[in-house]
Amino acid sequence: MQLPTFLTVGVVALASLMPVYADHELRIRNNCSFNVTPKWKDASGGLRSGPSMARGTVWSAWIPEYWAAGRLYGQNGACIEPDGARCTLLECTFNNIGFNQCNISRVSGFNIGMAFNWIGGSGCQGGKNCNNANCPNTVAWLPPDSCNGCLSQCNTARVGMEVIFCP
Ligand X SMILES: *[C@@H]1O[C@H](CO)[C@@H](O)[C@H](O)[C@H]1NC(C)=O
Question: Which CB atom, from 37 or from 102, has the smaller least distance to ligand X?
Answer: 102
Please identify, using beta-carbon distances, which residue of 116 and 141 lies nearer to ligand X: 141
- 22, 61, 65, 101: which one contacts ligand X (CB under 6 A)? 101
In sequence order, the 6+-apart residues with CB closer than 8 A to the CB of 54 are 30, 35
Q: How many CB atoms lie within 10 A of CB 102?
A: 27
Instruction: Count Cα atoms within 13 angstroms, Cβ side, for 39.
Output: 20
Contact 72, 49 (CB under 8 A): no
What backbone torsions phi and psi does residue 17 show, to the nearest 5 degrees? -85, -15
Q: Which of 24, 26, 31, 41 binds ligand X (CB under 6 A)?
A: 31
Positions in 69-88 near ligand X (CB under 6 A): none
Contact between 105 and ligand X by CB under 6 A: the answer reads yes
Q: First CA to last CA across the chain, in angstroms?
A: 53
**Phi/psi-derived region of residue 11, left when phi > 0, alpha when psi is between -120 and 50, beta in every other case:** alpha
| Site for ligand X contains 142 (CB under 6 A) | no
By CB under 6 A, which span of 5-13, 14-22, 72-80, 91-99 interacts with ligand X? 91-99
# binding residues, ligand X (CB under 6 A): 12
- Of 88, 103, 117, 152, the residue at the interface with ligand X (CB under 6 A) is 103
Contact yes or no for 101/78 (Cβ under 8 A): no
Closest separation in Å from C-beta 129 to ligand X? 8
Closest to 91 measured CA to CA, from 136, 132, 130: 130
Segment contacting ligand X by CB under 6 A, of 7-15, 73-81, 98-106, 154-162: 98-106
Footprint of ligand X (CB under 6 A): 31, 91-93, 101, 103, 105, 107, 141, 164, 166-167
